[in-house]
Amino acid sequence: MTDNGRYAVIGKPLPKVDAASRVTGQAVYADDMLLPRTLHCRILRSPHPHARIVSIDTSAARRMPGVHAVITGADLPIKFGILPVTQDERALEHEKVRYVGDPIAAVAATDEEIAAAACDAIAVEYQVLEPVMSIDAALGRPKDERIQDYGGPNNIHKLVALEFGDVDGGFARADHVREDVFFFQGNTHLPMEQHSAVATYIDGKVTLWSSTQVVHYVHRALAKVLELPMNRIRVIGAAHGGGFGGKTDPFAHEIIVAKLAMITGRPVKCTLTREEVFYAHRGRHPVLMWVRTGVTSDGRITAMHFKSALDGGAYGSYGVASTFYTGALQTVTYDIPAYRFEGCRVFTNKPPCGPKRGHGTPQPRFAIELHLEKIARDLGIDPVEMKRANFVKPMTRTVNWMRVTSCGLEECTELVMKASGYRERERRSGRGMGFAISSYLSGAGTAIYWNDMPHSEVQIKVDRGGVTAYCGAMDIGQGSDSVLAAVVAEELGLQPKDIRLVTADTDTTPIDLGSYSSRVTFMAGNAALEAARKMRALLVEAVEASGRKYEEVSFEEASVLAEARFGTLTTAGSYTPPKIAGPYKGSGVGPSPAYSYSACVVDLDADPRTGLIHLNKVWIAHDVGRAINPLLVEGQVEGSVYMGLGEALMEEQTFRKGLHKWPSMLEYKSPTFLDMPDVETFIVETNDPEGPYGAKEAGQGPLLPVIPAVNAAVFDALGIWVDEVPVTPEKIVEALRRRDKGEPPRYGPQRFPEIPYPPTIKVDPPPRDLDRAAAASI
Amino acid sequence: MVALEVNGERTELLLPVHKTLLEVLREDMQLTGTKHGCELGECGTCTVLVDGKPELSCLLLPIQIEGRAVTTVEGLASGSRLHPLQQAFAELGAAQCGYCTPGILLASKSLLDTNQRPTRDEIREALAGNLCRCTGYMKILEAIELAAERMSTHSPSPLAGKEGMGRISDR
C-alpha cells in the first residue's frame, strides 16, 4: 500500500511457481510414487479404546503367500514424540492401546489386498480396560488404570498456573466483573490428501518420501526410533496435498515403512485410508474455558482470569504447547494490565489432539471475543468501541512479556466496519452481523528443541546464469516455494520463474524447521533475503571491477564475471529469532518475532423455526505486514475464513462408546461450494520492522476471528447466545426454547470443573513501552 | 480383458474384475493425475469425465464403461498448451495444494461444455460434490468465471505464450 512501487516482484500477484504442475496432474504426491518392486504396507489398529495387549500372534500372517514382513512393537520399541518432554508414542504398541486406531502391527506384501488380509490374520488378545472419554472422567479416579504413566493426578497430563501483574488488585479496581463458561468442540484438519509415505533402504541408507509438513522433525524421529545416525537417513517432502497442522507430527506409518524397507530391502509404501486419517488426527483440542474479567464503567479492562481444560486424547503430541497457547495470546490483542492463566490438559482414550490452524488459540479467541461482547452489553456500550478502546498499541510489551511490534488492529477494524456497513446494519429478527478480531504468530520465537541455532537457512548457487535456491522449507500448498523464489528474484533483479528451487530434502537443503506456526515467510524469507543480498554483492563487485554498473549488464554476463573472479558462486543466509521470551517457565510458548492481526464481520440469516443458518457474506481485513504476493495472501485469508466457518457451523469430532462417531468425509460435515459465502478480503500492510520486506504471516490468523463473529452474528439475529462451537441448528432451537420458557437465552456449558491447579507462579510484568532499539535488543 | 478409451487412446488391459477405474487409471495406466480422497464416493477428488459427464472413478468398474470415452486431467491440455481452465486456475491461485484440482477441473469442464456462461450459483451447484480444503472455493469460482469468459469470447490469455506460463513445466 505504501512503497510497493520500489519493488519489481514483491507485491505483485504472480502465479505460484509450481502452478502448472498442480493444474496438469504432474506434481508427484507420495502416493503417486511407484518405485520398482514396491511392497505395500497396511497397519493393524486397535479396535478397543483402552486395553492391555496380552499377546500378538503373527504366525498365520507370516505364512501367507505374498507377505514379505510382519512387524510389531517388539521391532520398534523406542518411544518418540514431537516434544522432548512427551516422548510417549510407539510406532507400534505391544503393551497397551489407548484409542481405537492405535497401531499394533504392520505388514509389507506384494499388494495392498494381501497386506490387509494378513493384518486380518494377526491374532491379538486384549485385556479390555475401562475407557476414559471426557474431561470430567479424566479428572476423576480411573476405574481400571491411568491411560499414560506420567502426569497426574489421575489422567491429568499437564497443569500450569501463571500470574502477571496484580490480578486481585485489578479486580478490586473494577466497576464490573463478569464470568462466563464456553466450550469449543474438537475438530480435525481433513486434508484432501490421505497421509502417505514411501521408503527405500539402499547402500545402508534410508530414504523416506512423505506428505509431511516437517521433514526435519520426521528426520529426528526416524533417527531415534530406527537407531540410525541422521546422516544415514534422508527425508524428502513429496508434493503436498494439504496439512493445516495435521501432518506436523512424526507419524507411525513413516517409521513403519522405513523399518519395513530395512527388513525387506525393497521400497515400501503406506497410504492411510480416510478412516485412518481420522485416527491419525492431531487436530483441534476440545477445550472447556472459564473466563472472568474486570472492567471500568467505560469498558477498560482492569484484570482477566482465564482457565482452560483441554481434552488431549491419548498421547502428548504438541499438547503441552497447546495448553500454554490457550492462555498466551489473549494479551496480544487487548491491553490487559493484570492477567492470571490456569491451564490443564487431560488424557482421554481418543486419537491424540495437536495443532490445527491457529494451534490452541481459536478456542480462547472464541471465548474472549464473546465474553467481551457480553461485558459491553452489560455496560450498555457498543461492543466494537469497547474492544477498540482496549486494543494493544504497536511497539509495546504485554503483561505476559509478549513483544508487539507492528499492529494493524485499528486499520483492520475500520476497513471491515466500513465495507460491511456494520454500524448501519438493518436490525430485524433473523438477520445478524457479528464482529471479532484476532492475532497470530509469525513463527514461534523458540524452537521445539531449545537451541541457539538458526530456525531457517537458505543457500543460493549461481552458475553460468542459472540461480538455484536451496532451503528445507516445505511447500504445503501455501506457496512457500513461491515466496523463496520471489525474494531471491527481487534481490537479483530476476523473475521468480528464473529461480530453480530445491526444497524440503534433508540431504540437499540446509535446515528449515518446517511449515508450522506460520513461520516460513518470516523465517525462510529472511534467510533467503540475507543469502540473496550476499549474492548480489558478489555480482555487483565483479561487474564494477570490470568498470561497469550492475544494472548495465545482463544477469548472465554478471554471473560469468563473478564466477571468473570468485570461483564457485554460493552464498548462505540464516534466520534466528530474537531472544524475546520472558523470564518465567512456560515463556517459550507465545513469543513471536511479529504478530499478524485480523478483523472480521460475518453477515448471516438465522431461521428461528429450524435453527438453520445461511451465510450472506464475510468481510475480513488482515494485517500481513507486507504482501510478498497478494494473490497468495488472499488465498490464505479466504482459506482461513472457509475453515473457520466450517468449525463455527458444522465440523466436530465426537465419540460414542469409545468409537469415533463419523470417521468419513460424508458424515464429518465440512463446507461445500454451496455453503461458502462470498468473502471480501482487505490486505493491510503495516511494514513490520523485522519481517522480510515487512511481511508477517497470513495462513492461520484470519481463521481466528471468523468463529466468534459467527456466534456474535447469531446473537445479533436472534438474541440468543450459543456459547459453544459448532453452532448447530439444534443448539439454536434449544436456546430459543429456553428463552421462550423464561430461562436465560443461552446454550452452553453450565460449569467449569474443579481442577487441582498448582500454586500460581507470579511473574513481574515488563516495562510497557518499547522503542525500536529496545524492541530489537530484548 | 477390458478395453478402455482414455484421453483418446484405446488400451486393452487384463484386470481383476473388482478393481475400480480409479485404481486402474493410477496403478495400471500410470495416470496418477487422478487423485483419491476417500475411495467411498464422498469427496469428488477422483472425478473423471465419462462421455463428457463427471463420474467418480472410485465407484466405477472398468467393465461398466467399456466403449465409452474417459477423460482424465492428463487429457485436458493440448500437448504442452494448457486448457483455458488450467490456465485460469494457475493464474488466479485456484490451486493451492492442488490435490482436489484435477477433479474440480474436470467437473468444471463438463459444466462449461454444456453451459458456456454459468452464473456463480450454477457453478456452486455443479461443483457441490467436490471438496477443497485449501482455497475456500473463492479463487476456484473466479477462475472458472475467467475461463468461461475467455472461452466464450475466444480472447487469449494475457499471459499465454509468456515463458513459464501457458506451458507445462516440470515442477
Residues in chain A within 8 Å Cβ distance of B105: 23
Interface test with A, best of B91, B96, B120 (most A CBs within 10 A): B96
Chain A residue whose CA is closest to B96:
A477
- Give the mean pLDDT of B75-83: 95
Q: For residues A418 and A275, state if they share a domain.
A: no
Q: For residues A701 and A654, state if they share a domain.
A: yes
Residues in chain A within 8 Å Cβ distance of B56: none
Residues in chain B within 8 Å Cβ distance of A21: 98, 168-171
Q: Which of B33, B96, B101 sits opposite A635 (nearest CB)?
A: B96
Q: For residues A357 and A293, state if they share a domain.
A: yes
Q: CB distance A639–B96 less than 8 Å?
A: yes
Q: Which of B40, B43, B91 sits opposite A15 (nearest CB)?
A: B91
Quote the minimal CA–CA distance from B35 to chain A in Å. 8
The predicted-structure confidence for A312-368, as pLDDT tens digits, reads as follows 999 999 999 999 999 999 999 999 999 999 999 999 999 999 999 999 999 999 999
Q: Which of A575, A610, A639 is the last residue of a domain?
A: A575
Which pLDDT band holds residue A4 (cuts at 50, 70, 90)? Answer: low
The span from the CA of A60 to the CA of A120, in Å, is 10
CB of B130 less than 8 A from some CB of A: yes
Contact A708, A182 (CB under 8 A): no
Which residues sit opposite A503 in a β-bridge?
A471
CA dihedral A541, A543, A545, A549 (to 10 degrees): -100
User: Can you list the alpha helix ranges (DSSP code H) found in A439-575?
Assistant: 480-492, 520-545, 555-566
CB of A642 less than 8 A from some CB of B: yes
Concatenate the DSSP letters of all residues of B48-74 into one string: EEETTEEEEGGG--GGGGTTSEEE-GG
The span from the CA of A276 to the CA of A210, in Å, is 16
Concatenate the DSSP letters of all residues of A676-729 into one string: PPEEEEEEE----SSSGGG----SSGGGTTHHHHHHHHHHHHHS-EE-EES--H
- Give the mean pLDDT of A194-216: 98
CB of A193 less than 8 A from some CB of B: yes
The predicted-structure confidence for A618-672, as pLDDT tens digits, reads as follows 999 999 999 999 999 999 999 999 999 999 999 999 999 999 999 999 999 999 9
Quote the minimal CA–CA distance from B71 to chain A in Å. 13
Interface of A with B in 579-638 (CB under 8 A): 631-632, 634-635, 638
Structure ipTM: 0.96
Q: For residues A46 and A121, state if they share a domain.
A: yes
Interface of A with B in 86-115 (CB under 8 A): none
CB of A682 less than 8 A from some CB of B: no
Residues in chain B within 8 Å Cβ distance of A706: none
Q: Into how many domains does chain A fold?
A: 3
Which residues sit opposite A572 in a β-bridge?
A459
pLDDT the model gives residue A464: 83
User: Can you list the alpha helix ranges (DSSP code H) found in A4-141?
Assistant: 19-23, 59-63, 112-120, 135-139
pLDDT the model gives residue A503: 98
pLDDT the model gives residue A774: 55
> A656-663: long-range contacts at Cβ-Cβ below 8 A with a sequence spacing of 24 or more?
A658/A48, A658/A49, A658/A50, A658/A100, A658/A131, A658/A133, A658/A349, A659/A49, A659/A100, A660/A100, A660/A101, A660/A278, A660/A279, A660/A350, A660/A351, A663/A274, A663/A275, A663/A278, A663/A279
Quote the minimal CA–CA distance from A138 to chain B in Å. 33
Chain A residue whose CA is closest to B131:
A672
Q: CB distance A477–B98 less than 8 Å?
A: yes
The span from the CA of A72 to the CA of A54, in Å, is 13
Q: For residues A55 and A87, state if they share a domain.
A: yes
The span from the CA of A38 to the CA of A746, in Å, is 57
Between B166 and A30, the more confident residue is A30
User: What are the backbone dihedrals phi and psi of residue A293, each rounded to the nearest 5 degrees, phi first?
Assistant: -135, 140
Residues in chain A within 8 Å Cβ distance of B119: none
The span from the CA of A727 to the CA of A650, in Å, is 7
Which pLDDT band holds residue A261 (cuts at 50, 70, 90)? Answer: very high
A4-8, A28-32, A506-510 — which is least confidently predicted? A4-8
pLDDT the model gives residue A6: 87
- Domain containing residue A62: 37-129+192-242+247-280
Residues in chain B within 8 Å Cβ distance of A674: 124-125, 128
Chain B residue whose CA is closest to A703:
B136
Q: Is residue B3 scored above 70 in pLDDT?
A: yes
Which pLDDT band holds residue A718 (cuts at 50, 70, 90)? Answer: very high
Interface test with A, best of B134, B145, B165 (most A CBs within 10 A): B134
pLDDT the model gives residue A80: 98
Q: For residues A605 and A704, state if they share a domain.
A: yes
CB of B165 less than 8 A from some CB of A: yes
Residues in chain B within 8 Å Cβ distance of A27: 98, 171
Q: CB distance A664–B101 less than 8 Å?
A: no
Q: CB distance B168–A664 less than 8 Å?
A: no
Q: For residues A473 and A591, state if they share a domain.
A: no
Quote the minimal CA–CA distance from B157 to chain A in Å. 13
In a domain? residue A668: yes
Q: CB distance B168–A679 less than 8 Å?
A: no
Q: For residues A474 and A390, state if they share a domain.
A: no
Q: CB distance B37–A22 less than 8 Å?
A: no
Half-sphere CA count of A633, side-chain side, radius 13 A:
28
The predicted-structure confidence for A472-523, as pLDDT tens digits, reads as follows 999 999 999 999 999 999 999 999 999 999 999 999 999 999 999 999 999 9
Residues in chain B within 8 Å Cβ distance of A477: 96-99, 134
Chain A residue whose CA is closest to B77:
A24
Chain A residue whose CA is closest to B128:
A673
CB of A647 less than 8 A from some CB of B: no
User: What are the backbone dihedrals phi and psi of residue A284, each rounded to the nearest 5 degrees, phi first?
Assistant: -60, 130
The predicted-structure confidence for A386-418, as pLDDT tens digits, reads as follows 999 999 999 999 999 999 999 999 999 999 999
Q: CB distance B38–A274 less than 8 Å?
A: yes
Q: Which of A257, A280, A303 is the last residue of a domain?
A: A280
The span from the CA of A94 to the CA of A339, in Å, is 45
Quote the minimal CA–CA distance from A485 to chain B in Å. 13
Q: For residues A291 and A276, state if they share a domain.
A: no
Q: Which of B72, B128, B159 sits opposite A672 (nearest CB)?
A: B128
The span from the CA of B38 to the CA of A293, in Å, is 45
Interface of B with A in 65-84 (CB under 8 A): 72-74, 76-77, 82
Q: At what angle do helices A319-328 and A362-379 cross, to 10 degrees?
A: 20
DSSP letter assigned to residue B27 = I
In a domain? residue A675: yes
Residues in chain B within 8 Å Cβ distance of A239: 98
In a domain? residue A462: yes
CB of A276 less than 8 A from some CB of B: no
The span from the CA of A38 to the CA of A57, in Å, is 26
Which pLDDT band holds residue A432 (cuts at 50, 70, 90)? Answer: very high
The span from the CA of A483 to the CA of A455, in Å, is 17
CATH number for the domain that contains residue A679: 3.30.365.10
Domains of chain B: 2-75 (3.10.20.30), 84-153 (1.10.150.120)
Q: CB distance A673–B73 less than 8 Å?
A: no
Interface test with B, best of A192, A284, A502 (most B CBs within 10 A): A192
In a domain? residue A482: yes
In a domain? residue A625: yes
Q: For residues A118 and A209, state if they share a domain.
A: yes
CB of A644 less than 8 A from some CB of B: no
Computed over every residue of chain A, the mean pLDDT equals 96
Helices then strands, each counted (H, E), chain B: 5, 5
In a domain? residue A2: no
For chain A, give the percent of residues with pLDDT over 90.
96
Q: Which of A25, A28, A244 sits opposite B133 (nearest CB)?
A: A244
Q: Which of A550, A575, A600 is the last residue of a domain?
A: A575
Q: CB distance A673–B27 less than 8 Å?
A: no
Quote the minimal CA–CA distance from A621 to chain B in Å. 16
Chain A residue whose CA is closest to B97:
A477
pLDDT the model gives residue A21: 97
Q: For residues A334 and A470, state if they share a domain.
A: no
- Give the mean pLDDT of A297-326: 98
pLDDT the model gives residue B169: 35
Q: For residues A232 and A340, state if they share a domain.
A: no
Residues in chain A within 8 Å Cβ distance of B87: 23
Q: CB distance B37–A21 less than 8 Å?
A: no
Q: CB distance B170–A25 less than 8 Å?
A: no
The neighbour count for residue A258, using CB atoms within 10 Å, is 30
In a domain? residue A18: no
Interface of A with B in 19-38 (CB under 8 A): 19-29, 31-32, 34
Q: CB distance B134–A639 less than 8 Å?
A: yes
In a domain? residue A520: yes
The span from the CA of A769 to the CA of A178, in Å, is 29
Q: Is residue A776 scored above 90 in pLDDT?
A: no
Q: CB distance A642–B141 less than 8 Å?
A: no
